[in-house]
Structure 1
Amino acid sequence: MPTYSYACTACDHQFDIVQSFTDDSLTECDQCDGKLRKVFNSVGIVFKGSGFYRNDSRAATTSTSPATSTSAAASTTSSSEKSSSTPAPKAPSSTK
């Protein structure tokens, strides 16, 4: 069950109370019968490091396929080597 912080608007009395999510908020100060307000604090948990976010576990999408590197190598060969060499087999395309 969560702990909530309250502060009185009349006498500045501050206190914490453990309440269920379904419990109604407190409205009256137990010391002066003044109006209470909820005090919102910073989050009590911080996620640091890698592995906590959706994009941390994904593989990089900027990889080069074997077909791209083969065509680049073929374009740098001389014209005499092109006529005598056999064409490279095509790499199977991968779909994700």
Structure 2
Amino acid sequence: MPTYVYICDETGEEFEYIQGINSDALEYWPEDVNGFDANKPKKVRRKIGSGIGVMLKGTGFYETDYVKKSGSPENKD
């Protein structure tokens, strides 16, 4: 399951939360995350584009696939 980063609208505090990919975004700070205050619910929003990383591992990936080739002619116009 993906990990999403949320930010508090009021304080700017951030936390990570594991949710299913089809789950709706949280609206308020969840009870099971440090910083929850039952007397004062904090409105949160999901940060877009954070937490994305790609690592190519295993067979089938070659070190020359995405490397700029040296010695290739340059355009000298």
Larger Rg: 1
Q: CA deviation at 1:33?
A: 1.3
RMSD value, Cα: 2.4
Q: Distance in 1 between matches of 2:2 and 2:10?
A: 25
Q: How many residues of Structure 1 are paired with residues of Structure 2 in the alignment?
A: 51
8 A contact 2:4–2:46 mirrored in 1: yes
- Larger relative helix fraction: 1
Which structure 1 residue ranges, 4+ long, deviate > 6 Å from structure 2?
none
Q: Does 1:20 align with 2:20?
A: yes
Q: Considering Cα pairs closer than 8 Å and 6+ residues apart, tell me whether 1 or 2 has the greater RCO.
A: 2
Q: Does 1:39 align with 2:47?
A: yes
Q: Cα deviation per residue 1:25-81 (whole Å; 9 max; x = unaligned)?
A: 100123441221111316311568517xxxxxxxxxxxxxxxxxxxxxxxxxxxxxx
TM-score (norm 2): 0.52
Query: Percent identity between the aligned chains?
Result: 25
Tell me the residue number matched to 1:8. Answer: 8
Q: Cα deviation per residue 1:3-30 (whole Å; 9 max; x = unaligned)?
A: 0000101122211011001211100123
TM-score (norm 1): 0.43
